[in-house]
Chains A and B, each alone.
Chain A
Amino acid sequence: MPDRYDVLVVGAGPAGLAAARTAAAHGARVGLLDAQPRPGGQVWRHDVRHQAPRAARDAIGKLQGVDVLASHSVVAVESSALRVETPQGGRLVSYGSLILATGARELLLPFPGWTLPGVTGAGGLQALAKQGWPVAGKRVVIAGSGPLLLAAADTLRKHGAHVLGIYEQAPAASVHAFARQLSHWPARAVQAIGLRLRLAGVPYRFGSFVRRAHGSDGVQRVDIETPTGMQTVDCDLLAVGYGLVPNTELAQLLGCTMDYQGPHPHVGVDRLLRTSVGGVYAAGEASGISGLAVARLEGAMAGHVATGHSAAAHALLPQRDRERRFGALLARHFALDRRLHTLADKDTLVCRCEDVTLGELDGFSDARAAKLATRCGMGACQGRICGTALAELGRFPRSGARPPIFPARLATLAGLTTLPSDDAYRGS
């Protein structure tokens, strides 16, 4: 494997796949890097029991001329190069141009009982099911916010789960207004209707959210607040996620200027997807949550621009702009209810890595002071879970990224390319 690519794409989801294929079609030497063992990202994640959607098979199948670097985790940046870690060791991969297609993760908000085994994100349980997690015959409650809840329910039912209900925090009026707007995006409308048909019989409730999860060894029942009062549901699994947040740590480490959509940063880009750093582009969710169609279009655009074919990118702009408006629609209709900010009480753990409660964070006016005194954010997830939640709750804004942006072996940080045996240290 070479150590230098003309175009290096970080993230092998829909945006990254489109970028890699497009750049390769222009003759560039392309590397496509992802920390997961297989390409597809989250929305096109490989499912062990079901065939991937045709678009996914197509995208993954057309990677001739692209070096697919699976299980490559980006750890740090050096000059026009990324320090990456693989199960075998570490590498420094240099690039001429870099396309960030780092996607999104779920917004997970703390609430009493959220650390019980069996409580996961909504996209989280969808991902686990695709990986072979046993859900067949299990009673699942899905909650949180956004169309992702329906997609997760659909996947889980395909895997044999018994979905007891989908509890959307947005009010009925907002969700119905959103549905009416879908007529402007016919492909999405068709997809939505298909979903609703497959999910007929699964209660879909609005203005509702999980207050508390109960159980001893794992979740056994949940308390849900609904417009008509509190409801208790017995279940085996609780899948709750409050929407998506862009993954921006690598962009921040590179020094890209960020923009803010509410409390969470996304990568700032111009019309041709250029970030503020020369030679670095961003496509898809990383520059603002807008869904699959935008990811595919922007991936292609970035592949064009990064190889000097701006005209081809320009040609995609009108379609992309129309699809980006879908993101604004999502944000408007699925905005989070203020009551979600008070789900956690002073005894609720906010930092799961270091077991720090919300109450322990009282009295600190900034994130760093809280971190030094309580260790909140000092654990393995590097503040991705607690920090994102605390930013959403308006408690502390998220601070910038420092290397390593994922935990990495000391050997990788020392620039070693393979793990030497102990023999290397004898007798010198």
Chain B
Amino acid sequence: MVRTLALLTALLAAAATHALAQSSPFDMSGERPADAPVVQQPPQSGTEGAEPVEQAAAVRPPDAFKRFIIPYSALSLTGEVDERTWSVYLTPAQAQSAATLNFAYQNAIVVAPEASTLSVFVNGELAGEGPIGSAEAAEPLSYDLKPGLLHAGSNDIRFRVRQRHRTDCTVESTYELWTEIAPDSAFIRFAAGDSATLSSLDDVRAVGLDEHGRTQFNLVVPGLQQPSRTAALMRLAQGLALRGQMPGQAFALSETMPELGKPGQITALVGTAEELAPLVERMPDGASSGPVAMFVADAKSKASVLVISGPDWPKVQEAIEGVTQPMDRPSNIPRDVIATGRWLLPETPLIVSSARLRFSELGVETTEFTGRRFRSRFSVAVPSDFYADAYGDATLLLDAAYTEAVMPGSHIDIYVNGNIASTIQLNSVTGDILRHLPIKVTMRHFKPGPNLIEIEAVLVAEPDKACAPGTPASNDPRFALFDTSELRMPEFARIGRRPNLAAISGAAAPYRADAAAVPLFLDRADEDTLSAAATFLARLAVAGGRPIAVELITSPLAAGSRNALFIGAMPQLPKTVLMQVGIDSTRQMSWGNAEDSGQADETQKAIDEWRTRLSGGAWRNQVTAFQTWVKQEFDISLSSLRIFPEAQAEYAPPESAGLLLAQGANPTDDATWTLLTAPTAKRLREGASAIADVTRWQQLSGRVSAFEPATDKVEVTPVTGFDFVQTQPPTLTNYRLILANWLSSNIMVYALLLIGLSVLLGLATASMLTRLGRRQ
């Protein structure tokens, strides 16, 4: 019986046609065990699974208002325990309204319903809970939220699963467990009719999400293409984005009214009172006399529209500053936390030097666990000038316990951003209590901005060996993780690097700290380019936590020695810019036009093929085998032994890339130039909107990052040579750590330095000894 079921599972798994497109904000596919079984795929949207929800929605009274709540393109809860927590901002009206929480979920067929539960918590209170048993089609669920549970402002939503396999008790089987909730099926429905109405500027925070987990701001600007207005519009975009703080915010700038009342969208009308008069039924009072920024209801759709206006453009600018200025904060004081709450709670703490953080502060709760593969996660952020990836180790002081049921061979793995960073063995046969057990976690995979740290305990247990089907899950905990555990970050080296796109992604560095306006070069002031620029700047503002002042420039030379941004379609860009950021300008005109020949890849493939074909030569094989072994065991390759850095080759944009973000130094080597470009303005707009999404945004790093729409991947070209950019007041300790990191990535320099100094010391000793003591 067991065997038949297992076979069935295997067949089902094999039949699944799509690879899992995991869309949590962190890609964890990196270094998972290769033998992890293929996870079954839930039906895609559009299949009958989603139908019942839509029908259910259809019978609701028409004045009901719904807000989608899932900030991801897909929410997948996998393994034996998993949960996601984030916050949803509600207006006072929404908070007071009667509300129900609706979603539909589907799970893997191997999840045993009698032993698996899906729970939803709102503001820490259980809103609904039920067994997981909806393998065939997505099952819609609706939970009434009790009055008073919701409140105005941020409300925490938490989805949690406890899943158990029907037939299998191995660790491997836990990889087959999943429950998925489609974003278009999950929403809060508010009964009161005025829930949709936005009234104050603060209500921008309640912008919400669309059915794909994205957010869009529409800026309707008559006279959009007047260059004098661009800088102010960019400020506005940033102000709105900083209020929204949603994981994927795009801006659409146009001169015409879009369709109103769509979920996850806010439309703002920007212009003088005179210009806006034709678009609005009734202009707000005072718009003709002073700056105004307030919501009005659209006549036709009854949707709330943000009107930002004034009698003339300077007054409009004043109104824009009224939106944006409150979002500003001093650039020289580091943030305590990085605002990630709309997609990940708790907010990510920012660690700028040595610190000890308790797990309880990081949102990890004391948990007792009965299963086989325990996972927990938290997030910490490091600053943009973090420079300890080569040498540093953070330490987890782990408080945990395991019983004698856990057999030797079990282990706890620590992952940083999906890369394994440490493993400790649980080897005691009698169980053990680990009290502040120090675990070194390499900081190699840390990058500026939030970093996801996962703790996974793989528990091989005696009772699992005799895995009788149908027996109730053992409720004796065999593993516990305590929230008194701590993460200890050492003092780490801090210095900026140029180029380093990870610093842009993590904290909008270096632009965040610029006191003066940042020169912004746009090749054209059309809707697409302006939308792309607004989206990108808004994303920068969110990453940096503060709005950036911009100044439009028309020539790269005007940037002088300031950090500058260049946004535009490739064909129109000045050659100097391409040269400075290291992009092959011969492809300037052809990129995106020709069919991709993929010649370079073909050549490489051919060489590899020939290499395998000519596998003769025992000596060469030995050498290769040795190289492989050294690489595998110690992560040392021949290239890590070079003394002089590799020459930086010009980057030739591949045809598959839809968008490029590239960085380099300015011609005088004293400022940073960043270029955002695409083959056409339209693709620029699409690409900017795509990378603004937090999952993709966090992948930006290196010297050039290319977004490939077809595969939804960000291809990173690593930095080969870089300049240091001083960010901290000079101190000896910091320089020492910087040196340690630089030498750790330039091994031979360290070796030669030490050898050279040893020789000098030897000579100095010889000279001293011939002068001291007796001699003959």
Chains A and B form a bound pair:
no
